[in-house]
Amino acid sequence: MAIGLIGKKVGMTRVFLKDGTAIPVTLIEIPPHTVVAIKSIEKDGYSALQLGAYSAKEKHLTKPEMGHLQKVGVRLLRRLKEFRVDDIAGYQVGQELTVADVFSPGELVDVVGISKGRGFTGTMKRWDFGGFPKSHGHRYHRAVGSIGNRSDPGRVWKSKRMAGHYGAQKVRIQSLFVVDIVPEKNLMLVKGSVPGPAGGLVVLEKSTIAERKSQRLKLNRLKHITENLLKGAQA
């Protein structure tokens, strides 16, 4: 288990390698974080760090939240998140952490965010159903089709995939490659897309599957990106 950070999705762009290859990336803005609390096995039964980011006004926080922050003597923070860690040595309350202190180019990260809300959708969009024939004379086309079978079971099974609200759910995208980090602008560039709209909050953590053989092979395939990245060539 390793520490993570809270960020904000800026949007997507691309970077170029020295040979002209375009790599699609997502820009994530990660402001400096403050260590708000430290959980130890002796006192709390587990080891973790509570981090805070994004300055807040008093009107944005509840009284318990304000008391919690004022008690440890840190500035008012809008977002708090606790991360389980194996070792809390070297950390202290009030310490500031930047994106360059936690992550580095060429590693794999997991990104957790709230997906875009799509509203009420049919089964073809929501569950990727194939639909009915589009030939003349057919009456259904995009309908869901049969949802039961005569008198047995005589009801619709629970969790049956049907039309309904689609999106606006927590999604974890695993093993995204960190293309580059721009410390002076608090930016991280990850290869591919991440869940949520531009401006949406995301949580970044060390990849939980980075030690798998398939992911080690993936790193070998992608490590040339950080070595041949053409700096300042974003478009």
pLDDT score at 234: 45
pLDDT score at 87: 86
Structure-token pair, residue 154: 């005589």
Distance CA(112)–CA(148), nearest Å, equals 36
CATH number of 1-31+98-134+161-235: 2.40.30.10
pLDDT score at 116: 95
C-alpha distances in Å from residue 112, one per residue of 4, 33, 58, 164, 206:
11, 18, 28, 23, 11
pLDDT score at 235: 40
- Backbone φ, ψ for residue 11 (5° rounding): 155, -175
pTM over 0.75: yes
pLDDT score at 153: 81
Q: Which residues of the chain have pLDDT under 70?
A: 1, 232-235
List Cβ neighbours of 28 (8 Å cut-off, separation of 6 or more). 7, 8, 9, 10, 111, 187, 188, 189, 190, 194, 202, 204
pLDDT score at 230: 78
Distance CA(110)–CA(190), nearest Å, equals 10
pLDDT score at 232: 54
Query: What SS3 class is residue 33?
Result: strand
Residue with tokens 């309908």: 143
Extents of the domains making up the chain = 1-31+98-134+161-235, 33-97
pLDDT score at 193: 94
CATH number of 33-97: 3.30.160.810
User: 116: which DSSP letter?
Assistant: P
Opening angle at CA 145, ends 121 and 123, nearest 5: 20
